[in-house]
Amino acid sequence: MALLYKKLSREELDSIDRLNTVLVNYEHYFPELTAFIESSSQTYGLNLEQYNDTMKHGFQRYLEQHGNVKAIVVGTRRTDPYGSSLAPFQPTDSGWPSFMRVHPVLNWQYDEIWCFLRLANVPYCSLYDMGYTSLGGVDTTVKNPWLKTDGGEYRPAYELANGDERERDGRLQPSQ
């Protein structure tokens, strides 16, 4: 999507309908992430709706307001929690709001994500340059220890070796 929008002029972007998007989250975000989400919504002309709720209830609320939604594009990868058994196109599980989940980057590796973002010059959240590799809430996310230098500084996320195994090493359980 980012590459498509780069090719369109502001005039062309303004002439098309905004893409409906949904963000469901129950954690308190970093200010940098909130600013990036808002900036991206403007840059890409998104009609963003946010729900401070669990995934299940947030999607239920979204679908109640948008009854015509049949599919939602999701950024889950194989190495993400619950991602190992997903298919590229897969209906939601029993007991969940009903829609088709579309996983375009399901089989992408950590380094492939970073290669794409950097080669295509796609903007990303500044926290990734500070040593964070997987962004959750401020209470459950720390800088990835694998990126810490001998001098105590942190390298950017795109320098993480073995990223598929280590990406979430900066995520904490809420009780920690």
Is the CB of residue 143 less than 8 Å from the CB of residue 170?
Answer: yes
Chain-centre distance for alpha carbon 86: 17
In a domain, 18, yes or no: no
Return the structure tokens found at 82. Answer: 């619950």
Residue 143, domain extent: 110-170
What's the full length of the chain, in residues? 176
Spans in the chain with pLDDT lower than 50: 176
> How far apart are the C-alpha atoms of 22 and 66, rounded to whole Å?
11
> How far apart are the C-alpha atoms of 77 and 111, rounded to whole Å?
12
Half-sphere exposure (CA, 13 Å, Cβ side) for 125?
21
In a domain, 92, yes or no: no
Secondary structure (3-state) at 10: helix
In a domain, 136, yes or no: yes
* Per-residue pLDDT, 176: 43
In a domain, 19, yes or no: no
Chain-centre distance for alpha carbon 162: 20
In a domain, 5, yes or no: no
pTM for the structure as a whole: 0.87
What pLDDT digit, counting tens, does each position of 75-126 carry?
999 999 889 999 999 999 999 999 999 999 999 999 999 999 999 999 999 9
In a domain, 58, yes or no: no
Return the structure tokens found at 58. Answer: 């947030």
Query: Which amino acid is present at 33?
Result: L
User: Which residues, listed in sequence order, are joined to residue 141 by a DSSP beta bridge?
Assistant: 171
In a domain, 90, yes or no: no
Total domain count for the chain? Answer: 1
Is the CB of residue 98 less than 8 Å from the CB of residue 91?
Answer: yes
In a domain, 116, yes or no: yes
H/E element, 118? helix 110-119
